[in-house]
Structure 1
Amino acid sequence: MTETINIAVIGAGPVGLTLALQAARLLPQSRLTVFDARPLDKDVSGDARTLALSLGSVQLLQRLGAWPKSHAQPIREVHVSQAPPTLQFGRGEAAVRITAADQAVPMLGAVLRYGHLVAPLQQAWLALAAEHPERLSSRFGTPVAALKPIEGGVEVDAGISERFDLAVVAEGGVFAEQARKALTHDYQQTAWVGTLTLEGGTPGLAVERFTRHGPLALLPLPPLEGRQQAALVWCVPADDDPVQDLNDAQRLVVLASLLPEIAGTPVAISPLKRFALGLNAERTLVEGRKNGQGPGGGRVVRIGNAAQTLHPVAGQGLNLGLRDAFELVLALRDGGSVQAALRRVEWSRAPDRWAMIAATDFLARSFTWRWPGLPAARGLGLAALQALPWAKSALARQMMFGRR
């Protein structure tokens, strides 16, 4: 792109900062302003929320020079099964095992804390903005109150109204706190999240266990004082919650009964927090009529959780948002008008977005079904996938890089 384009990035989380860094480097004619309600002096490095990143996301952050390798735990293997097992094959149960070695990649993805990712991204952005103050600026501690489409642009109200050629909304939030979008569904499920300490497990192993209540996931974390750690995501029905009345010792016993032997034995559990789960998605990334032809030309784009909040069953929400950011910057770089770039990104992102929205929605709803034979059918599906290397490889590639 040769014309100067003035872009507002609203939200300095991982998706917003990734977009800002990439745009600053690939769009040298652009002017970028990052807005965030969080004050700059608020330390984000201690935020302990867990993020699961695919290999494609790791590679993107590596190219931006903002990958905190020392804080990340690579995922070397993924094990998917169900409890109780409905099918036995030889000495083992029906399960899908995907390894980095089999896919000829260094890792399938990685897991790290939110603060360990956002802090280096923010540092990299501030350093770049200091080098180029004439075109890069930050407005931390400045919440955006409103966006108003105007002819050929958008007006951003953050205390004072300013005109931009494009506003990219990357502020996400959790399902329970969001305004409802065009497509929404409350799964009536709760996710309990925290940290487990394990003995006898497999380092670098991610576990997805389909239980009768919902999916149960373990994501490997860096060891702590020589002991294996894993992030826990435990999904259960909201109206018949089997977790909330249990104490820590009881929760460990239940988890030990649900997890496969390969996961190891849970010996300690952190306090758990719970979140309501649902689907909340816009029909299009570009606000306005189809293909961005709305009032003011459709100059507001939503990416990440601002565009789609998904069930965590596949752990792909953040990765989808990072791909949104990546493709948006490439579309702007490839030239033509902003309108043309937005039409391209709308079309290019649609297959990946809708494939992931449909897959997670189907899986989430399936745990509410009580059809006879459904667990056996799920077990057969897992066994079939494990027996077909080409299908397993195709699934692994989609999880690592999205639908291409």
Structure 2
Amino acid sequence: MSSELSLAVVGAGPVGLALALHAARALPDAHVHVFDARPADLDVSRDPRTLALSLGSVQEFERLGVWPAIAPASTAITAVHVSQQQPALLLAGLAARLRLPPPELLLTAAECGVDQLGAVASYGAIVAPLQAAWFEAVAKEPRRLSARFGTPVAALKATPAGVEVDAGIAEHHDLAVVAEGGVFSAQARKALVHDYRQTAWVGQVTLAEPADPARAGTAYERFTPHGPAALLPLSPQGGAARAALVWCVDAADDPVLGLDDAQRLAVLNQVFPPRVGRLAAITPLKRFALGLNAERTLVGGRGNEGGAGQGRIVRIGNAAQTLHPVAGQGLNLGLRDAHALVAALQSAQGRGADLGAALKQVEWQRAPDRWTLIAATDFLARSFTWQLPGLASARGLGLAALQALSPAKRLLARQMMFGWR
């Protein structure tokens, strides 16, 4: 593989920009070009979408030098509380008879020996510093790096020696990495597709009481008969605690659609456990269809069949796998994809190996992490649609068992923070 690798990154979201910044530093002779349809002068910092970052993702942004700019607008996650609403009567009766604690799981940063399990930040608070860092890098090395903003990529065509990128003018590159995101309903279908027929309602809530410092960094996940609901901690406002809400329900029998804000608050106060506190206000909610849309492998895939260069198109992040938000790990998985790809390219240059060998290494290296998370989120998402006797009891018993088994809790926490390593 030539040290003067030409790399095209399609998509300037958090995953694409993190990949470009890492590649520019780790591959000092490589030419890196970032393409995105949005104009360069668009103020991305105002994008309010909430993203959950694992500790591994926080550390990746620290390595890239952008975390100091993200941190002030972020909220640390110091604990994760998972519980089940209205356990089945069998489980409730058994728990009362045996004097067992309720079916819940609590993971804390302290018991894992870290300061935080992760962090919460808006899309804009993450992308704006990454974009600024990329523009700065381009200004320093314009002969090697470029930012092609306002330039949508119409097509990618595999060639025997690489990839032809059509962005108004056809350009040839050794490797193209697609890192575009998008929601499930708007994406082209990949190799593995399943519509969960669920709707995610997203927005923010405010608690009535002043923020409790002891619980200010707790993220809550609640399993309900309709689907999972989650609250992610946000910085207090006016002394009151705030949280980002993700509320997943059955799309065919949507219990949220016909409610006004007061009714939605009343329902949510019944959904979440008392330890959350009383929810006092809610912002207008937006809804999104949920589904699984994944490639079988990062290398090759959709729109990349035939030709000797078919393995020169790589998809990472949401371009490779769009998951159900039940675990909140989609962005973290994409950042691990990006890191592994650059590490493989760097290692291959040091060995004098060819590009195909490096990409094959990424394909095999990333498979366990990808498929563990794809399978876990798919199983959980589908389980809320199964009408099986005792399923709620089994789920509750599983939470209680995890809470009682410290080694299992630590293993789960490590998976959440760093993925499969």
Q: Does 1:193 align with 2:210?
A: no
Partners in 2 of 1:340 and 1:80 — Cα distance? 42
C-alpha deviation, 1:205, in angstroms:
0.6
C-alpha deviation, 1:362, in angstroms:
0.1
In the alignment, is the contact (CA less than 8 A) between 2:269 and 2:279 conserved in 1?
Answer: yes
Aligned to 1:109: 118
Pairing of 1:136-151 with structure 2 (within 5 A): 136-151=145-160
Aligned to 2:400: 383
Aligned to 1:401: 418
In the alignment, is the contact (CA less than 8 A) between 2:159 and 2:307 conserved in 1?
Answer: no
Per mean C-alpha deviation after superposition, the further-off stretch among 257-266 and 157-166 is 257-266
Partners in 1 of 2:253 and 2:247 — Cα distance? 14
- In the alignment, residue 70 of structure 1 is paired with which amino acid? P
In the alignment, is the contact (CA less than 8 A) between 1:287 and 1:294 conserved in 2?
Answer: no
Q: Does 1:269 align with 2:278?
A: no
SS of aligned partner of 1:112? strand
Partners in 2 of 1:250 and 1:287 — Cα distance? 48
In the alignment, is the contact (CA less than 8 A) between 1:288 and 1:295 conserved in 2?
Answer: no
Aligned to 1:174: 183
Using the size of structure 2 for normalisation, the TM-score is 0.93
Q: Does 1:184 align with 2:186?
A: no
In the alignment, is the contact (CA less than 8 A) between 2:44 and 2:124 conserved in 1?
Answer: yes
Give aligned pairs, total: 403
Partners in 1 of 2:13 and 2:3 — Cα distance? 28
SS of aligned partner of 1:334? helix
Partners in 1 of 2:240 and 2:19 — Cα distance? 36
In the alignment, is the contact (CA less than 8 A) between 2:163 and 2:174 conserved in 1?
Answer: yes
Partners in 2 of 1:304 and 1:359 — Cα distance? 17
Pairing of 1:298-337 with structure 2 (within 5 A): 298-335=311-348, 336-337=353-354
C-alpha deviation, 1:92, in angstroms:
4.7
C-alpha deviation, 1:85, in angstroms:
3.3
C-alpha deviation, 1:2, in angstroms:
6.0
- In the alignment, residue 45 of structure 2 is paired with which amino acid? S
Pairing of 1:125-164 with structure 2 (within 5 A): 125-164=134-173
Q: Which of 230, 240, 249 lines up with 1:236 in the alignment?
A: 249
Partners in 1 of 2:116 and 2:268 — Cα distance? 27
In the alignment, is the contact (CA less than 8 A) between 2:101 and 2:400 conserved in 1?
Answer: no
Aligned to 1:46: 46
Call closer, same or farther: CA 1:263–1:91 in 2, change over 3 Å: farther
Q: Which of 77, 80, 91 lines up with 2:79 in the alignment?
A: 77
What is the percentage of aligned positions where both structures have the same residue?
65
Partners in 1 of 2:356 and 2:310 — Cα distance? 7
C-alpha deviation, 1:226, in angstroms:
1.8
- In the alignment, residue 323 of structure 2 is paired with which amino acid? L
In the alignment, is the contact (CA less than 8 A) between 2:109 and 2:116 conserved in 1?
Answer: yes
What is the CA deviation profile of residues 223-269 of structure 1, one whole-angstrom value per residue up to 9, with x for unaligned ones?
A: 12221110000000000000010010010110000101121110000
C-alpha deviation, 1:118, in angstroms:
0.3
Aligned to 2:358: 341
C-alpha deviation, 1:91, in angstroms:
8.4
Using the size of structure 1 for normalisation, the TM-score is 0.97
Call closer, same or farther: CA 1:288–1:79 in 2, change over 3 Å: closer
Q: Does 1:8 align with 2:8?
A: yes
Q: What stretches of structure 2 of length at least 5 have no aligned partner?
A: none
SS of aligned partner of 2:326? helix
In the alignment, is the contact (CA less than 8 A) between 1:76 and 1:100 conserved in 2?
Answer: yes
- In the alignment, residue 141 of structure 2 is paired with which amino acid? H
C-alpha deviation, 1:373, in angstroms:
1.0
In the alignment, is the contact (CA less than 8 A) between 1:80 and 1:96 conserved in 2?
Answer: yes
Instruction: Give the root-mean-square deviation of aligned CA atoms.
Output: 1.6
Partners in 2 of 1:317 and 1:147 — Cα distance? 24
In the alignment, is the contact (CA less than 8 A) between 1:297 and 1:339 conserved in 2?
Answer: no
Partners in 2 of 1:359 and 1:294 — Cα distance? 34
C-alpha deviation, 1:17, in angstroms:
0.2
C-alpha deviation, 1:337, in angstroms:
1.3
Aligned to 1:360: 377
SS of aligned partner of 2:48? coil
Which segments of structure 1 move beyond 4 Å, counting only runs of 4 or more? 88-92
